[in-house]
Structure 1
Amino acid sequence: MTFHGSVNIAMKIPRAQYAATVAFYRDVLGLPTRDVTGTDIAAGVTRSMRVEFGANVLWLDEVPAYSRSDVWLELGTDDLPAAMERLAAAGVVARDELEPLPDAMRAHWIANPAGVVHLVAEAPE
């Protein structure tokens, strides 16, 4: 079982700062963006923009219930059950209450000791 950093970075943004944040990445920095609102985005996310962020994808997610922005990271694994066992042995518990995941997705939410949320996801076969 191995872990590896994944390409996805999600920025959860309150409604009041969402438009200005999108404009910063799209208009000020000139990064390629695509509105993915209306696709299968996470529960609680009302709008989402995909930003090409070098080798990574930055997801700008509007979350009206948030009062401040938060950054979430993704880790990949080749064996989700073994990965979760290893994390549990280190005292890291699944935090799947943070945001519902699609039923077909093999993944769990966790947080690092500093409270930064990570999605631990197994690639589909």
Structure 2
Amino acid sequence: MKADIKGGIDIALKVPSHQYQQTIEFYRDTLGLEEITDKPPAVGFAFGPNRLWIDEAPALSQAEIWLELFTPNFAHTEKELEEKGVIRCNVVEPLPESFKGGWIMSPCNIVHMVREEGAW
């Protein structure tokens, strides 16, 4: 059975502290993307139909891209992904205990949030 998953609208760019401010300036000042300011302290940009969030990640030595996926039923999808051997990585960033979603890792080590659309 195929999991019921579709791409989400959020893309997170996890950036080391020493590159964080320059990265924000690149998207805002150099590229001129519209800044999203309604969720401080988060810094985001309109990225076509998506939202690009620039997250400071002091523990990283290089930037990482994290992607979002939606599913109508996380519990069902979680079971299907487990049966297919998908690696869970919930330790990468804490989520509320009642959150209807979780973190998975692709074979090339890209972190993905899989969640129900109303989970936040």
Q: Do Structure 1 and Structure 2 share a fold, with TM-score over 0.5?
A: yes
Structure 1, 29-38 or 3-12: larger mean CA deviation: 29-38
Confirm or deny that 1:31 pairs with 2:9: no
2:5 matched to which residue of 1?
A: 3
TM-score, length-normalised on structure 2? 0.89
Distance of 1:32 and 1:102 partners within structure 2: 30
Structure 1 residue 94, shift from structure 2 partner:
2.1
Distance of 1:57 and 1:104 partners within structure 2: 25
- What pairs up with 1:69-88 in 2 under 5 angstroms? 69-88=63-82
Distance of 1:33 and 1:59 partners within structure 2: 10
Aligned residues: 116
Runs of 5+ unmatched residues, structure 2: none
Structure 1 residue 63, shift from structure 2 partner:
1.0
Confirm or deny that 1:53 pairs with 2:47: yes
Verify the 8 A CA contact 2:87 2:106 in the aligned structure 1. no
Deviations 1:23-74 (A, max 9, x none): 1100011001134444xxxxxxxxx311111100000001111111000000
Deviations 1:73-104 (A, max 9, x none): 00000110111111111101321111001344
1:108 matched to which residue of 2?
A: 102
Structure 1 stretches of 4+ moved >2 Å: 34-38, 102-105
Runs of 5+ unmatched residues, structure 1: 39-47
Distance of 2:117 and 2:6 partners within structure 1: 11
- What pairs up with 1:92-103 in 2 under 5 angstroms? 92-103=86-97
2:22 matched to which residue of 1?
A: 20
Secondary structure of the equivalent of 2:82?
helix
Distance of 1:4 and 1:34 partners within structure 2: 23
Confirm or deny that 1:62 pairs with 2:56: yes
Distance of 2:36 and 2:117 partners within structure 1: 23
Distance of 2:88 and 2:75 partners within structure 1: 11
Distance of 2:28 and 2:88 partners within structure 1: 34
Alpha-carbon RMSD across the aligned residues, in angstroms, is 1.5
